[in-house]
Amino acid sequence: MGHGFRDFLTRQEAAGDLLRITPKIDTISEMGAVIARADYEKIGKGLLFENPKGFDMPVFANTIGSTYRRIAESFGVDEARAVPGAAQQMRAAMANPVAPVHVGRDDAPCQEVVLTGDDIDLGILPILRLNPQDGSKSRDFMDGRFVCAVACSKPAEGAHNLSYHRFEITRPDGGSVWIFRGTGDAKSMEEFWNAKIDDPPSSWDKEKAKPFPMAFVIGVGPEMVLAAANSALPYKNNDFAFIGGITGEPVKLVRCATIDVDVPADAEIIIEGVFEPFDWTIQGRFASFNGFYDEPRRRPVFKVTAITMRKQPIYQHIHIGRPLNETNNIAAFFRSVKVYQDLEQVLPNVVDVFVDPSAGCGFTAHVSIDKKRVGEPRMAMMRAYTALQGFCKHVFVYDKDIDIRNPHERDWALAHRFMADRDLLVVPDVLGNILDPLAQGDMGATAKLGVHDGHNAIPKGVRTFMGVDCTLPLGLKIMERVLPDPEVEARVDQLWPLIIGAA
Ligand SMILES: Cc1cc2nc3c(=O)[nH]c(=O)nc-3n(C[C@H](O)[C@H](O)[C@H](O)COP(=O)(O)O)c2cc1C
């Protein structure tokens, strides 16, 4: 069996891992809440909403979900060793890529229907509002619907970049897209627009700028979902060849109908479009990976040039909202792999890394080592900190007998192997991440805290008290927390037994 979306659904169904949800569920207020609960409760099954209210197109969520199970399956490794295993598989796939093959339009199910011009209408797709306040505070507020799907671009001839950039729908034929500074697509956009986007508009060369094309690919297998989140792949890489290296099977590509980008031929739906140079808007706030609503910000406008799809497509959605969620799980997994790879360079005795998805999917890293020398834990702390370029702010280092993904084991080690005056490393005023609410505005920097156990002189009969104040400083105004809406939750309470098949 292949590795496309339909093959994946068939495998899930056969394994009893597909929940078919038949009640009518609203895509604006309810569906996001149902998916959020499934993620929060670690329901590791696929969710197929067969009757989204007002649409005849089913919605599928939880391709990866909030556990490591499908990540481990995709890399063909043991779940308990998912991080070291994936690090090794990624190295192998990069060394032995399998080039994609191109097929004609007649062999591309994703182009069975092609809508262009006046026929373009994003309103035919069951696009969700993910969280209660998504899209609010926007000039163009229109339900707060966001596409969260694989974004595909062609940064150079022979290169294919896969990524995620959330796309807010504000018109039947477009909206705006969040492209983080520093991602491959931000760099490509600057190359196409022939400008450093943060420079003053007077320096932009409008003559030489050209539109930057992108396609959102909806309905792909887990290997592709994961590859798009994998920032270890250089942006001028052939990401499809990497996926081929992982699955051992070439990805079939077709050229988009209206732009110079190639997409997986067996996907469900493709949204093609362009970013015209220097065309910006203010995007509504929406839930970010850390469980807060980010503020409205300037984003590039995306103009849809075509919607292509299968005759009876399924809309696939990747969820983001209150942690724990699917996005955090995926993003934190690759950050774990990155920290593991960096630590291996200086401490070959690193055993495992767990970047906690609930903790801003990068703010807290747990590391286990096969400790041989005093001082290794502090070495691990510093390397783990820099591995994520200031993203991480708390590092905990444990012995190898601790299962670092189990909070009970971690708490046990903290209670019995840690003394705050010996084992705590605090480095103030280190550059932090802008989405850390305590590193915004006047505070501007964040402190790094590391916990280790490297001291040999232990005085008898005394211990150290450490109090950790996790309350907000009074008077500090920060981003609003993403929380469920009680009325919607009451409805989800009613639906829940039907959804998980317990009714
Ligand atoms: C589900 C999900 C949603 C994401 N959303 C965004 C986003 O809205 N904007 C963005 O720039 N990056 C987002 N990211 C992070 C990028 O996908 C990630 O940095 C990617 O690997 C960048 O790849 P590139 O540098 O090769 O383009 C998201 C990641 C995941 C897993």
**180, 230, 238, 388, best to mutate for ligand 1 pocket (most atoms within 8 Å of CB):** 180
483-502: burial string, b at 16+ Cβ within 10 Å, e else: ebbeebeebbeebbeebbee
How close is the Cα of 164 to the center of ligand 1, in Å? 4
Q: Is the CB of 185 under 6 A from ligand 1?
A: yes
Q: What is d(CA 413, CA 353) in angstroms, rounded to the nearest whole number?
A: 16
Q: Which domains does the chain have, with CATH numbers?
A: 97-309 (2.30.110.10), 327-451 (3.40.1670.10)
**C-beta 183 within 6 A of ligand 1:** yes
pLDDT of residue 443: 44
CB 318 near ligand 1, within 6 Å: yes
Ligand 1 center–CA 468 separation, angstroms: 32
Atom of ligand 1 nearest to the CA of 179: 11
Q: How far is the CA of 397 from the centre of ligand 1 (A)?
A: 28
Residue 354 forms beta bridges with which residues? 366
Is the C-beta atom of 165 inside 6 A of ligand 1? yes
Alpha carbons 19 and 173: distance in angstroms, whole number: 32
Per run of 10 residues, the mean pLDDT along the chain (length 503 residues) is 94 95 94 94 94 97 96 96 97 97 98 98 96 82 89 96 95 94 92 89 90 98 96 90 97 98 98 96 87 89 98 97 93 96 96 94 92 90 88 90 95 89 84 66 58 59 64 77 92 90 61
Ligand 1 atom closest to the Cα of residue 234 is 26
> What separation in angstroms does the CA of 64 have from each of 73, 93, 174?
10, 20, 27
Q: Rounded to 5 degrees, what are φ and ψ at 177?
A: -130, 135
Q: What is the pTM of this model?
A: 0.92
What are residue 81's phi and psi, to 5 degrees? -115, 35
CB 46 within 8 A of CB 18: yes
For residue 199, the model assigns a pLDDT of 83
- Is 384 within 8 Å of 369 (Cβ atoms)? no
* Ligand 1 center–CA 331 separation, angstroms: 8
pLDDT at position 232, please?
Answer: 82
161 lines ligand 1 (CB under 6 A): yes
Distance from the alpha carbon of residue 24 to the mean position of ligand 1, in angstroms: 31
CB distance 316 to ligand 1 below 6 Å: no
Non-local CB neighbours of 131 within 8 Å, separated by 6+ positions: 32, 36, 286, 287, 293, 321, 322, 482
Tokens of 278: 């220097």
Rg for the chain, CA atoms, rounded: 23
Give the pLDDT of residue 295.
83
Q: Read off the amino acid at residue 487.
A: E
> What is the DSSP code string of 88-153?
HHHHHHHHS----EE--GGG-GGGSEEEEGGG--GGGS-PPP-STTTTTT-TT-STT-EE--EEEE
Q: How many other CB atoms sit within 10 Å of the CB of residue 473?
A: 9
